[in-house]
Amino acid sequence: MIRGTRLLLFAAALVFVTVNCAGIRTLITGEPHLRLDEVPREVRDIYSNAEKSFENRELEKAFAQYGQIIDYISQGPVVLWSHTRRGEILALKGDYEGSVRELRMVKQRFDDDPFYAEAQYHLARSYSALGQYSQSKKIAEVLLHQKLSSNRRIGLLTLLGDILLTENRPYDAFLRYMEALKEKPDKAMAEQIKSSVEDIVSRRLSLEEQTAAWDSYGSGYPVGYILYALMQSYYATGDVVNTKKYLKEYMTRFKDHPNYDDARALQDRFSAMEVVDRYALGCILPLSGQFAHFGSMALDSVALAAGVFDPLPGPLRIIVEDSRSDPETARERVVTLFSEHKVIGIIGPMGSMVATEAAREAQKLGVPIMTMTQLDEITTIGDYVFRNFLTAKMQIKTLVRYAVENLGMKSFAILYPEDSYGVRMMNLFWDEVIAAGGEIRGAEGYDKKKTDFSDEIKLLTGSAFNDDGDRKEVPQPVIDFDALFIPDSYARVSMIAPQLAFYDVTGIQLLGTNALNSPDLMKGENEYLYGTIFVDGFFLNSYYPAVRNFVDRFYVAYGREPTDVDALVYDAARVMVTCMTDSRIEVRNDLKEALEQLRNYPGVTGMTSFTDGDAEKSLSVLMIRNNDIIQVK
């Protein structure tokens, strides 16, 4: 009698807890349960303890207790329930094969048997976890036609949605998830289902499926996501009319939506597109005045790059303005190109002061500008300012790297002209050598008007002094460096080289800059220059097919061979044109970002990338050999 009273009290407590505590699953979720009068007296204590262990998530203990019931009696509701619980426990532990074996022990007694339905529910989930989706789907679809609790319908609908996603049927999965939401799941489950719905609508539906979703769910959840997805899809297809249609409705109805800021950005983008011609490229060059000749030559390269002789896809337009080599005029031309011609980008101008003034105005207006100047500070003006030009830093970095890494040289000397070019090159070379782990053994400057370099050579080699530091009459050179860097023109280097040999400064590697790259270098006696190495961005006789093709096309078009400036201007224009013909480039900021992200563009002046607005190029390494200039790298 006492035992029976205790069981009745436990049952009453169970019902009370079920109503007031979400942690107890038996009644609050509408799952099937056993009344105590359905449990044989001999196993009621075991059953009660097993249920308590299960609710407390003492899974191993509960599993054993349900097993005791099965061992004690052979049939009846409590046995079916025990197999179901054991199958659920095995699934919770990740043993889905064991779960299937246990759940398949539960047989149907009559139509709408709640215990059988519960076992089938867990069986469907275990089959799905094992990847046996067809089995899982078949069971779930049958169960949905039976009397089920709302909680179990939610579980089955989301299970079917998950399976449909594995079958690449996102729209059907979307419909199943929406059915599940109609069952009013709890907050946590609703958030999980909505996450799946939003992912499908945003990323997985075709335009036709998005339209179908709009027709079915034009109000309420998830209409905001559907509208946003529709305008994104229409925008991707280039349908501006429909994009604006759905964008307008979205912006009116969903100001607190998670995607509102992105929609606002798209709206701003359309506003920007109205004030820019994506196919218009501005060009500012000196077409009159003392530098008109150079501007005219540069315009040849721009025309060739823009497809005048081999048209590119799209209605590309080049609007050319004359800078007159005047900074203020160049600034005004930027304003004209921006406001009147609505250009998406600008090439030019040439020259430091002119380019600086134009770049400042372009930055202020927010239009990308590709300048052509050696002025290092030009790109610090702002993120809309770019430069495609051969700089001193590029040359020195390539030259030193080749000497150290390819030739194995460690010690260097410098003989440089005492002008701004020579001093700058000397300092850059010195810093780069130290950075590469080498050392500078000596550096001597000379007046750029000199033709006799004997004093500088003697000082550089230490042969002008005896051991006591006094001058000697007969110098004896001390050559403690592997290479000698001379940053000067081919005319002056060709005078220095024989004098080095005269003073027995031999067996060293001569290094130079692109100032040596001239056909005039080969006209005189130059055997003393054999083996000299220098670098340049453009080499007329390059073995690269792209360069050979450019040289041939340029000659056919203009009847002359291109210069290094021609090649640099061509690359600058070609980079801009290539970016503009990308269908994704619609506004000026797109062009700016495309230039920023450009990597290893195969230009005729070397593989080109942009970092902080400045071009980085893989320059050609050249050598003077047998009265000719050859490319060694």
Q: What is the pLDDT of residues 172-210, one digit of tens each?
A: 999 999 999 999 999 999 999 999 999 999 999 999 999
- Which position has the higher pLDDT, 319 or 273? 319
Q: Report CA-CA distances (Å) from 259 to 204, 247, 250.
A: 17, 11, 10
Q: Is 408 left (phi over 0), alpha (psi -120 to 50) or beta?
A: left
Percent residues over pLDDT 70 in the chain:
91
Q: Report CA-CA distances (Å) from 458 to 22, 490, 494.
A: 96, 22, 18
Cis? peptide before 562, omega within 30° of 0: no
In three-state secondary structure terms, 413 is strand
On the question of pLDDT at 552 being above 50, the answer is yes
Least confident of 242-256, 359-373, 514-528: 514-528
For residues 569-591, average pLDDT: 92
Report the pLDDT value the prediction gives residue 309, as an integer from 0 to 100. Answer: 56
Report the pLDDT value the prediction gives residue 511, as an integer from 0 to 100. Answer: 96
* Whole-number average pLDDT of the chain: 88
pLDDT band at residue 280, thresholds of 50, 70 and 90? very high
Report the pLDDT value the prediction gives residue 308, as an integer from 0 to 100. Answer: 65
Q: 29-34, long-range: CB within 8 Å, 24+ apart, which pairs? A: 29/149, 29/151, 29/152, 30/148, 30/149, 30/150, 30/151, 30/152, 31/118, 31/149, 31/151, 31/152, 32/81, 32/114, 32/115, 32/117, 32/118, 34/77, 34/78, 34/81
Burial group, residue 9, by CB count within 10 angstroms (0-12, 13-18, 19+): exposed
CA 47 and chain centroid, separation: 60
Note whether 482 and 402 are within 8 A (CB).
no
Least confident of 22-36, 254-268, 589-603: 22-36
- Which position has the higher pLDDT, 602 or 9? 602
Percent residues over pLDDT 90 in the chain:
69
Q: Report CA-CA distances (Å) from 452 to 456, 460, 507.
A: 9, 14, 21
Report the pLDDT value the prediction gives residue 225, as an integer from 0 to 100. Answer: 96
State how far the Cα of 246 lies from the Cα of 241, in Å rounded to an integer. Answer: 9
Among the ranges 286-300, 463-477, 516-530, which has the highest mean pLDDT value?
286-300
For residues 314-341, average pLDDT: 92
pLDDT band at residue 475, thresholds of 50, 70 and 90? low
pLDDT band at residue 18, thresholds of 50, 70 and 90? very low
State how far the Cα of 613 lies from the Cα of 595, in Å rounded to an integer. Answer: 8
Report the pLDDT value the prediction gives residue 174, as an integer from 0 to 100. Answer: 97
Report the pLDDT value the prediction gives residue 31, as an integer from 0 to 100. Answer: 63
Burial group, residue 29, by CB count within 10 angstroms (0-12, 13-18, 19+): middle
pLDDT band at residue 43, thresholds of 50, 70 and 90? very high
Residues 6+ apart with CB under 8 A from 375: 352, 355, 356
For residues 507-535, average pLDDT: 85
Q: How many residues does the chain have?
A: 633
| Ramachandran angles phi, psi of 220, nearest 5° | 75, -175
- Which position has the higher pLDDT, 27 or 128? 128
On the question of pLDDT at 414 being above 50, the answer is yes
On the question of pLDDT at 504 being above 70, the answer is yes
Report the pLDDT value the prediction gives residue 50, as an integer from 0 to 100. Answer: 94
State how far the Cα of 164 lies from the Cα of 177, in Å rounded to an integer. Answer: 11
pLDDT band at residue 247, thresholds of 50, 70 and 90? very high
**Tokens in use for 225?**
């996501």
On the question of pLDDT at 229 being above 80, the answer is yes
On the question of pLDDT at 470 being above 60, the answer is no
Residue 87: what residue type? G
Report the pLDDT value the prediction gives residue 311, as an integer from 0 to 100. Answer: 56
Nearest one of 388, 391, 409 to 400, comparing CA atoms: 409
State how far the Cα of 571 lies from the Cα of 554, in Å rounded to an integer. Answer: 13
For residues 477-496, average pLDDT: 91
State how far the Cα of 242 lies from the Cα of 236, in Å rounded to an integer. Answer: 11
Condensed to tens digits (0 to 9), the pLDDT of residues 117-156 reads 999 999 999 999 999 999 999 999 999 998 889 999 999 9
For residues 503-524, average pLDDT: 85
Give bridge partners of residue 601 from the DSSP assignment.
608
Report the pLDDT value the prediction gives residue 376, as an integer from 0 to 100. Answer: 79
State how far the Cα of 537 lies from the Cα of 518, in Å rounded to an integer. Answer: 13
Report the pLDDT value the prediction gives residue 526, as an integer from 0 to 100. Answer: 75
- Which position has the higher pLDDT, 625 or 69? 69
